[in-house]
Structure formats: structure tokens, C-alpha cells
Structure 1
Amino acid sequence: MGRRKDHSLLDQTVTTEAAAPKPSLTLPDAIALIVGIVIGAGIFQTPALVAAQAGSDIAVLLFWLLGGVVSLVGALCYAELATAYPNVGGVYYYLKRAFGRGVAFLFAWARMTVIQTGSIALLAFVFGDYASQILRLGTLSSSIYAAIAIALLTALNIIGLQQGKWTQNLLSAAKVLGLLLVVIIGLMAVPNSAAPVESASSGAWGLAMVFVLLSYGGWNEAAYISAEIQNKQRNIVRSLLWSIGIITAIYLLINLAYLRGLGLANMAQSEAVAADLMRSLWGAPGALFISLLIAVATLGATNATIFTGARTNYALGQDFSLFGFMGRWQQRPSTPTYALLLQAAIALLLVFLGTFTRKGFETMVDYTAPVFWFFFLLSGISLLVLRNKEPQILRPFRVPFYPFTPLLFCAVCGYLLYSSLVYTGVGAVVGVVVVAAGIPMLLWNNYRQGRA
């Protein structure tokens, strides 16, 4: 019985109809989900940081174009993994097949306690900050908004997949339309001829790419909907390519609008570049509009992150008896209810902790970055391992220029892992410690199963 439980996901890519996720997501649904995750808070905060490291307008645009190219390289690797191994566990499933249950468990533990829940809390804090600009709810306004957003969006996803995906589609559409309006307004502005900034050094280029790739992060979440997307062999690849193309175009246009409306120097010195652009053109109403836009953007990203995050928890519950309660899929609403509830509880705990630091966004970036890039690196290596370990597996999509493409992806991940350790603070140490705490949990689970 224990052996059957241990291999329930390893030996099956589709479980029984009563317990399995169903292919209910169309190609537009998947694109909206990925775009909703990626275009969150980053594009409203990091452009100023990138401009501060660049020496010219052209350099700024090249950084953002390069970010799209790097994301495309990673997406090609993920497309092969997701089409060859379509599973609700996503990276968890790839790591289990490549490296075994121990590494997969640590990834699922890290995603449950650090990566995904930290991202949810991070986005919820940004939503709270901008919602408070519209209507303040006292001294703890940001934290209150953050907690309400997590609870409400989790409830929507528990009600059912249809409600969750339509919420995401509407939020993503509103966000993209709002961003395009900012682009149009910025491009119609009289060009700002502010003084130039100093030329970027090689070290500044590296730091700029850290900020750029932070803003592009999230496209990999497509791996977690690979078992729920219709016509998966075609639509997984198409959803990734379309999403990254849309995101890259939007990022280039929004930065072009910032540069034209503010100028490179003013953009580099801005603490809220989008708000400064709208305030300079529309005054207070413009600042209010951008606050609403950012609140919608982060709300959409939070919803998408909640949606995909619970899928790994479900896969963890399927394989490890210690978390077996999360491995139950509610057939009628087609959601992993218990996995969603635990995820919300941990995210709310992080919001509670972030309330005392009053640096919720920065703390969550430090907390999640090194752990995220470590497992991202392992996912790239898993492609190389599985090509050699399981050559008989049908691969509807094969990454072009193998093995150079996955090796390039691994090199980028290794660099970002190094950078995230160099440029982060105590929060990074806390995140690593929390992941290490999963080792005794794994040993205890193995002991329990051994006795059983």
C-alpha cells in the first residue's frame, strides 16, 4: 500500500477521473494566467533601478529586450519538460523523475513555505501599499489589504476553477489595457531632455539584469497548469511563446514611454516612476489612476500565484503521507481545496511577520530569491538528466540547439543565484534556513512510511 502511494505520480501522468485535475483551460486562459503572473509589481518598480544602472536610453531598452530573450530560452526548456511530462506537480514532478523523491520533496517544501507563499505575500503587500493610496484603513492599512486580498482570492479559487480563471482573465485584461494607456500617454508627451547619466560599468550591467529578470519572473508557472490545459501538446508551447512575446512588447513600450515622458536621469531618480510619469502629465488624477492600475496589476498577479501554487502542494500530498490531506482534489469545484487553505495560512503568516518589519516587499524579495534561483537551476539540469535517463519518453516538443540551449539557461540561473546571494540581506538566510528545516520533515516522513 505504501509503495503504491509513493509511486502514484511517478507511474501515472493521469490519475482517476474522480481525483484528477481536468483539462479545462483554453489557450487564452493559459496566456492570461502567465501574463497575469509576470506583469505584477515589478514593472512599476524596477524600471527606475534599471535606468540608474544604464548609461543611455538604448542601453535601457536593450536590457529589457535581453530579458525577453533570456526568458524565451528558459521557456523553450520548460516547454519540452511540460509537454513530455504533463503533470499538475510541474517542476516537482520533473525533479522527482530526475533526482528522486528527496530533492522533489525539498522543492515542494520550499515552494510551499518560501517561494510561492513568499511571492503571494510580496504581491499582496504591494497591493496593500497602493490600495492605501486610494483609501487608507488606519496604521496597518497595507497589511489589512494584503490579508483581505489573500483570503478573498483563495476563496474564489476554492469555489471553483471557472470562477478563478475568469477572475484572472478579467484582471489580466484590465491590467494590459491600463498599461497600454500609460504607454500611449507617455509616447504622446513632449520628449524630456534631462541631463544624461554616467555610463554603466560591467558590474552595473549585471545588477540591471537582476532587476530585469525579476520583472520577467513567473512565466515558468505554465508548468503547473500542464495537466489542466486543453490540447496540451500544442498549447503549452504556444502559451509560453505568446505570453513572453506579449510581455516583452509591453515592457519595451512602457520603458520607452518612461524615457520619453521623464528622461533617463529623472527616470533613474524616481521612486515611483509610473506615478511620476502620470503626475507630470495629468496631475493628481493621473497619480490616482496609476494607483488603481497597480492595485489591479498586483491583484491579478496574486490571484494567478495562488492558483498555480496550490498545484505543487497537491502533488506533495499525493506522494508523502505526512501531507496526505493536501493530496485530495475536490471533483465538483475541480480544485485542491486543502492545498489552497494551507497555502493561504502560510502566506497570511508571512504578511503578519512582514507587518512588524514594515519592509514587506524588500523582506520577501530577500526571503525568496536565492531559494527560487537554486531550484530553477535544478529544473534546467533536470532536462539534461531526463534526456539521458529516459530517452524512450515521447517528447512532442524538443528544445532547439540541444544541449547548448539548456546549458545557457543553467548558466543564467547560476548567475542569478550568485547575484541573489550577493545583493540580498538577512532575509535570504532566513529563507535558506526554512528550506533546510524540510530535511528533518523528510526524514520523519520516511520513518513513518517505513514503519507502515
Structure 2
Amino acid sequence: DYVFLSRTYGNGSGFLFGWAQFIAINPGNIGIMSYVFADYAISFLNACGYEIPAGWSVILASTSVCILICLNLLGLMVGKWAQNILTLAKVIGLAAIVVSGFYLGLQGAGDTILDPAVQASDAKPHFGLAMVFVLYAFGGWNDAAFVAAEVKEPGKNIPLALIAGTAGILVIYLLINFAYLWGLGYTGLLQASTPAAELLGNAWGNHGTRLISLIIMISSLGAINGLILTGSRVNVRLGMDHRFFAALAHWNRRVNAPIFSLLSQGVISIGMIVLVGTKAGRRLIDAPFTLIQSDFIRWEQYQDGFDTLLVATAPLFWTFFLLTGLSLILLRFKAPELERPFRVPLYPVTPILFCLTCLYMLYASLEYARGLALLGLIPVLIGVPLYWMSRRKP
């Protein structure tokens, strides 16, 4: 994305993409997954007999980020070792959900998958909003481009990797959601705040709740760790290209890790967790907008920290995705002499369809986020003067 945007629209657009990743998108993703950890940690502790209030989610989410930042500060090898262990939990957890859902479904435990009365009253609403959350589950497929230069026969293997990877995620996604619907029923799934815990609790009792909550806690830690590991390295490129952020490029050779990049990423992530997860944080966000409208951001329509952070950062994500898709077409005219070892299948139909999809997703995410979109947009706009400052000669 960084290279495509810089070559198409100029270095400023590449800088804003890197800045958006640093200040909003990646910390937002870390915050999203940390809230998943927190929700299931509360479910686990409650199943163990401890009464943990929902307000603890901010504390638990922030703590998970702190611990994993410290782990990565110990060095790359420790981070990779932890990532391999944590990834295994995802496989076990997914298998447990599918088996439990099918087990309950075969016993007829759940109600009908989609009750006709519910279908008539509730099922028409927000297709675009649903797709924002659905496509978040498929996020990361584009990361194959990061290693395209190291892939043998990219014209053959990159499409194969993208198709096989996306198809695999699609199968898993459908299996998991069918297991939820079959095991809990539509109504049960609609009311579940931690559906995996409730599904396994129904199937195997309190032991099932504790087991899957623990597995998802470990799995979400793996996701957070992966975001920290890769995000901090992306920030290094921002520091290398723009002297104003040179500290981000500082690499500690003793532990083989970008210390300042990791620390700044942790601080921003925890800041976002606290801002959207506490009343004081929300009041702080609301303060600049009170002159415009008293309820400029309608917090009550967002269910929890996961929902809030995803909705706040989605418009940014789809904006840059759209610009990157357009750059593929524009570069054909702007730089026709560039070597293109990878041929886009069905060009220009494929990128046009991609851009139209991104445009619709941008509209859908903005329609739901409304004022909350400023939580991601304003920090990115601050990057405009920072870019000009970074260009000034000393």
C-alpha cells in the first residue's frame, strides 16, 4: 500500500498511510482484539466462581497490551516463539466451537436457525453494517503482497495463495457461524455477548465455558501479539523515510527489536482502549463537539469496546483500500514503463469491481460510524502538518 500510494499520489499520501497505520488503524486493531481477550477473561473468571464486573474489561484489555509489549521488548525470537504457541490455540478453539455447535444442533438444543417472525421484523436492516463486521474477519488477505518479491513465480503463486487462503477462511467462517446458529439458535446467538463460551457451556457445562474462554483468551493474545510484532516493523519504515519520526526507526541490536516503535504503539493502543471504554474517556472525546451538538457521538448505539473501535477505524481502512485499488489503474497511465512481473487477472474488470466494493464499504462504515469516524480521522489529519514539518531541512 505504502509504495503504491507514494508512487501514484506522491510521497504525502504514502506518509499519511503510514501515519494512519501508526496513530489509528493498527492501535485500533490491537484495541479491538484486546477487548475480545477481556470479554472472555471475564467469562472465564465468572465461570470459575469469581464475580467480575463488566467494567473490568478496560483494565484487562490494557493489561494484555502491556504484557505483550513487554514480551516483544525482550526481542524478536521471544515474540516469534510466543506467536507459534498462541497460534495453536486458535486451531483448537475453532475445532471445539464447530464440534460443540454440531453436537447441540443434532440434539435439537437450539431454536430454528432463523425464526420467520424474527426474519420479518429484524432481518432487513443494515446489510452494509453487517459486511463491515464480516469483512473484518477476512482482513489480512492483502498482506501476501508484502512478500511478493520473495515468492517464486509470483504470477502463478500469488493468485494461488490469495484464492486458497481466502477460500480457507470462508469455509472456517461458515462452519463457525453455522455451528453458532445451530447450537444456540438465532435468538440465542443474538443475545450472546460471548457466544463461544455460551455455546460450549450449553454443550459441556461449566467446564466447557472455562475451556473455550481460556482458549479464546490465548488465541486473542496471539492476534494481539501478531499485530504488535508486524505493526512495530511497519512503523520502522515510517521512521526511516521521514526524519521527524526517526526515533521509530531506532533498532536495539541487543534485543533485536524497535524499542521506541513498540513503546509508542503500546501507549497509543492503551490510550484508545481507555478513551472508548471509560466514561471519562468518552467525555474527553465529546468535549470538543459539545458546541456543535450535545450528542454528536451517540455512544449508546455501540455495544462495547470491540464494536466501538472497529466502527471508528473502519472508514479509514476502506479509504486507503480504495485509494490503493485506484492506484493500480492510475499507475498504468502514470508509469507505463514499470516492470510488472505479476499480471492482474481480468484487468481492468477486477480492480474496478474491487474499487466499487471499497466505495460501498466506505459509505456503509461512515453511515454507521457518523461522528465516531472522527476518532480515527482527526489524528490522521494531524499528520498533514507533521508531513510538511518532516520535509523541512534542518
TM-score by length of 1: 0.71
1:151 to 46, 66, 75: 66
Q: 2 CA distance for matches of 1:156 and 1:202?
A: 46
Q: 2 CA distance for matches of 1:106 and 1:155?
A: 28
Measured after TM superposition, the shift of residue 183 of structure 1 is 0.5
Contact kept, 8 Å, 1:114 with 1:367, in 2: the verdict is: no
Structure 1 pair 247–424 and aligned structure 2 pair: CA distance change class (3 A): same
Contact kept, 8 Å, 1:137 with 1:144, in 2: the verdict is: no
Contact kept, 8 Å, 1:105 with 1:316, in 2: the verdict is: yes
* Residue 277 (str. 1) matches residue 199 (str. 2): yes
* Residue 380 (str. 1) matches residue 325 (str. 2): yes
Q: Which amino acid aligns with 1:219?
A: W
Q: Where do 1:29-178 residues align within 5 Å?
A: 91-135=1-45, 141-178=56-93
Structure 1 pair 398–173 and aligned structure 2 pair: CA distance change class (3 A): farther
Structure 1 pair 398–162 and aligned structure 2 pair: CA distance change class (3 A): farther
Q: 2 CA distance for matches of 1:336 and 1:237?
A: 32
* Residue 291 (str. 1) matches residue 201 (str. 2): no
Structure 1 pair 235–314 and aligned structure 2 pair: CA distance change class (3 A): farther
Q: Where do 1:308-327 residues align within 5 Å?
A: 308-327=230-249
Contact kept, 8 Å, 1:224 with 1:312, in 2: the verdict is: no
Contact kept, 8 Å, 1:383 with 1:406, in 2: the verdict is: yes
1:356 to 244, 266, 278: 278
Secondary structure of the residue that 2:369 maps to in structure 1?
coil
Measured after TM superposition, the shift of residue 441 of structure 1 is 1.2
Measured after TM superposition, the shift of residue 299 of structure 1 is 1.1
1:198 to 108, 119, 127: 119
* Residue 440 (str. 1) matches residue 385 (str. 2): yes
* Residue 341 (str. 1) matches residue 256 (str. 2): no
Q: 2 CA distance for matches of 1:315 and 1:416?
A: 28
Q: Please identify, of 160-169 and 292-301, the stretch whose mean Cα deviation from structure 2 is larger.
A: 160-169
Q: 1 CA distance for matches of 2:274 and 2:330?
A: 40
What's the CA shift string for 1:42-76, capped at 9, x where partnerless? xxxxxxxxxxxxxxxxxxxxxxxxxxxxxxxxxxx
Contact kept, 8 Å, 1:364 with 1:427, in 2: the verdict is: no
Measured after TM superposition, the shift of residue 107 of structure 1 is 1.2
Q: 2 CA distance for matches of 1:304 and 1:322?
A: 26
* Residue 247 (str. 1) matches residue 169 (str. 2): yes
What's the CA shift string for 1:344-375, capped at 9, x where partnerless? 12112223323424842233123211111111
Contact kept, 8 Å, 1:367 with 1:427, in 2: the verdict is: yes
Q: 2 CA distance for matches of 1:300 and 1:321?
A: 32
How much identity, in percent, do the aligned residues show? 42
Give the number of aligned pairs. 358
1:421 to 358, 366, 369: 366
Q: 1 CA distance for matches of 2:143 and 2:359?
A: 19
Q: Which runs of 4+ in 1 moved over 6 A?
A: 136-139
Structure 1 pair 232–295 and aligned structure 2 pair: CA distance change class (3 A): farther
Q: 1 CA distance for matches of 2:312 and 2:386?
A: 20
* Residue 211 (str. 1) matches residue 133 (str. 2): yes
Q: Where do 1:379-398 residues align within 5 Å?
A: 379-398=324-343
Q: 2 CA distance for matches of 1:143 and 1:329?
A: 31
Q: Which amino acid aligns with 1:309?
A: G
**Corresponding position of 2:286:** none
Q: 1 CA distance for matches of 2:166 and 2:172?
A: 10
Contact kept, 8 Å, 2:28 with 2:313, in 1: the verdict is: yes
> Structure 1 regions of 5+ residues with no counterpart?
1-90
Structure 1 pair 232–160 and aligned structure 2 pair: CA distance change class (3 A): farther
**Corresponding position of 1:306:** 228
Q: Please identify, of 153-162 and 366-375, the stretch whose mean Cα deviation from structure 2 is larger.
A: 153-162
Q: 2 CA distance for matches of 1:213 and 1:425?
A: 19
**Corresponding position of 2:97:** 182
Q: Which amino acid aligns with 1:250?
A: I
What's the CA shift string for 1:383-438, capped at 9, x where partnerless? 22233333343333322111111111111111111011111143212221121111
Measured after TM superposition, the shift of residue 178 of structure 1 is 1.5
Structure 1 pair 156–427 and aligned structure 2 pair: CA distance change class (3 A): same
**Corresponding position of 1:24:** none
Q: Please identify, of 198-207 and 276-285, the stretch whose mean Cα deviation from structure 2 is larger.
A: 198-207
Secondary structure of the residue that 1:294 maps to in structure 2?
helix
Structure 1 pair 158–261 and aligned structure 2 pair: CA distance change class (3 A): same
Q: Please identify, of 239-248 and 304-313, the stretch whose mean Cα deviation from structure 2 is larger.
A: 239-248
Q: Which amino acid aligns with 2:12?
A: G
Contact kept, 8 Å, 1:366 with 1:425, in 2: the verdict is: no
Secondary structure of the residue that 1:348 maps to in structure 2?
helix
Q: Which amino acid aligns with 1:363?
A: T
Q: 2 CA distance for matches of 1:137 and 1:289?
A: 18
Q: 2 CA distance for matches of 1:445 and 1:436?
A: 15
Q: Which has the higher contact order (CA 8 A, sep 6+)?
A: 1
Measured after TM superposition, the shift of residue 378 of structure 1 is 0.9
Give the RMSD, CA atoms, in angstroms.
2.8
